[in-house]
Structure 1
Amino acid sequence: MTGDEQATLTLPALGTRRNLREEITQTLRAAVISGELRPGVVYSAPSLAAQFGVSATPVREAMLDLVGEGLVDTVRNKGFRVTDLSEKDLDELSELRALIEVPTVRRLAEAGVAPEVLDELRPLAKEIEAAAARRDLIAHVAADMEFHLRLLALAGNQHLVETVRSLRARSRIYGLRTLADRDALVPSAHEHAELLDLLAAGDADGVERLMRRHIAHVRGIWAENGEGS
């Protein structure tokens, strides 16, 4: 694929909705993280808008939001290109995530989380698995992001949540498509339900082990496929 080719993505038709720009931004962010939007390819707002079934304006605004997040760069008179990351970048992002997320979720287990609070997260855990089963990588990543950020928000530190949001958005999981095609994505997705069960049991050691394995697993998906630069 050359740098100026447009790729056809599996994007949902959104129509006219409230917070359309925010919804498009979330979807495109997930497309970047999952590797459905690839580095080196120039994507135009009109082309993406046609796949969403909306006008180009909210798509262009959403892409500018992603420029602000450092996920894409503008290409003059052409569109937008996904910012590339090196192996070192991805390793460092994974290390930072582990340093923040693992002890935070462990502290939640030690302090105890009310069953009804955990129950509010279970539909998201199911959606992560369902998206994995139907090989909808964009929905899978979007639900995964929401799950982890809502879980971390229980610690009561909004700055921590925003930091992790940025780290997760800047990460890439280029091997998800290969994993999905091998029907191997669902077992990884099930780790979210396992995490909730461990939190319900107050198993802090188990929570820490699973979180470390989960972050390492996500990083390993990328490394296994050797698609970084």
Structure 2
Amino acid sequence: MSPSAGVTRNTLRQQIADALRDEVLAGRLPPGREFTVKQIAEQYGVSATPVREALFDLSAQGLLASDQHRGFQVREFTVADYRAMAEARALVVEGLFRNPAEVAVRPEGLASIRRRAAEAVRAAKGGDLDVLIGYDLRFWRELGQFVLNPYIADFLTRLRVQAWVFAVHRLRRDGMDEDVLWFGHEELVEAIARGDHEQVHAEMRSYYGHALAWADRLEARETKGSAEGTAEEGAEGRTDGPPGPGPAMPPQSPESPGHCA
């Protein structure tokens, strides 16, 4: 393979990974959606190799689950997963700002982060989920550039992406409000700019508190729904006479490939 061919394939691999990640974050590839390398390659009109590499990249980031026989599927994060993500982010960020040697705040980077923060808050208050996700991810990614340990910065970015994968279809279903969304981006930036570690901790506790409260409400709803479903199944199973034959199995429709715009 020539050097230019290698660059082209790697670039295509990244483009496919970015496109699929955007589809997942937009909720157009919902949790549990299954697809194969062949389906994605045909959708994009490319060879299987860069597609396979892109899908394995997304699997390594925790966004896809892979099965040797069934291909790939968008990972389904549970409420417990989301709660753990929020707690991990809060603990890591608080820990970083307890040790100033781990963080190098560059004044030239603050202007851009302030813009990201303002746009994220504006989108959140305006109910524009797509714009919110984009600016929120850029906000945390640029904030992560202040962290001197690149492994921690990468970890925080991945956690935030995974949290949005969990949240996006639930927010589209239930709507967005101040009880769910966190609007503390600007306050967090200013606390970091001042070197006010106590305020940084307070903002992260606010972030974690919002996430935890939402997780509690989701968990309560799922528990209630599960209990109601069990009760309905029990009621349907009770009859006055001898049991008869069960209902006919519905026809099975073939699974459609994942949509990739």
Which interval holds the TM-score relative to the shorter structure?
Answer: 0.5 to 0.7
Choose which of 47, 60, 73 in structure 2 pairs with 1:68.
Answer: 60
Q: Give the alignment of 1:183-202 within 5 angstroms.
A: 184=177, 188=181, 190-202=183-195
Q: Give the alignment of 1:157-172 within 5 angstroms.
A: 157-171=149-163, 172=166
Distance in 2 separating the partners of 1:194 and 1:21: 37
User: Structure 1 residues 36, 135: closer, same or farther in 2, change over 3 A?
Assistant: farther
Q: Give the alignment of 1:136-155 within 5 angstroms.
A: 136-137=129-130, 139-155=131-147
Query: How far does residue 154 in structure 1 lie from its aligned partner after superposition?
Result: 0.9
Query: How far does residue 158 in structure 1 lie from its aligned partner after superposition?
Result: 0.7
Query: How far does residue 119 in structure 1 lie from its aligned partner after superposition?
Result: 0.9
SS at match of 1:99: helix
Contact 1:199-1:207 at 8 Å conserved across structures: yes
Choose which of 208, 213, 219 in structure 1 pairs with 2:206.
Answer: 213
Distance in 2 separating the partners of 1:63 and 1:93: 22
Choose which of 172, 178, 190 in structure 2 pairs with 1:177.
Answer: 172
User: Structure 1 residues 121, 96: closer, same or farther in 2, change over 3 A?
Assistant: same
SS at match of 2:77: coil
Query: How far does residue 104 in structure 1 lie from its aligned partner after superposition?
Result: 1.6
User: Structure 1 residues 71, 23: closer, same or farther in 2, change over 3 A?
Assistant: same
User: Structure 1 residues 77, 221: closer, same or farther in 2, change over 3 A?
Assistant: same
Task: Specify every segment of 5 or more residues in structure 2 that has no aligned partner in the other structure, as ranges.
Answer: 1-9, 224-261
Query: Which segment drifts farther, 28-37 or 214-223?
Result: 28-37
* 1:124-149 C-alpha deviation (Å, 9 max, x unpaired): 22342354436243x53343233223
Identity of aligned residues (%): 28
- The amino acid of 1:225's aligned partner reads L
Contact 2:63-2:75 at 8 Å conserved across structures: yes
- The amino acid of 1:205's aligned partner reads E
Larger Rg: 2
Contact 1:173-1:218 at 8 Å conserved across structures: no
* 1:45-101 C-alpha deviation (Å, 9 max, x unpaired): 757986xxx546566653332123332124678753122233333333332222212
Q: Give the alignment of 1:90-169 within 5 angstroms.
A: 90-105=82-97, 107=99, 113-132=105-124, 133=126, 135-137=128-130, 139-169=131-161
Task: Specify every segment of 5 or more residues in structure 1 that has no aligned partner in the other structure, as ranges.
Answer: 1-17
User: Structure 1 residues 100, 111: closer, same or farther in 2, change over 3 A?
Assistant: closer
Contact 1:109-1:202 at 8 Å conserved across structures: no
What TM-score, normalized to structure 1?
A: 0.66
Query: How far does residue 220 in structure 1 lie from its aligned partner after superposition?
Result: 3.7
Distance in 1 separating the partners of 2:11 and 2:178: 30
What TM-score, normalized to structure 2?
A: 0.59
- The amino acid of 2:203's aligned partner reads L
User: Structure 1 residues 125, 178: closer, same or farther in 2, change over 3 A?
Assistant: farther
The total of aligned residue pairs comes to 206
The reply to whether residue 84 of structure 1 matches residue 76 of structure 2 is yes
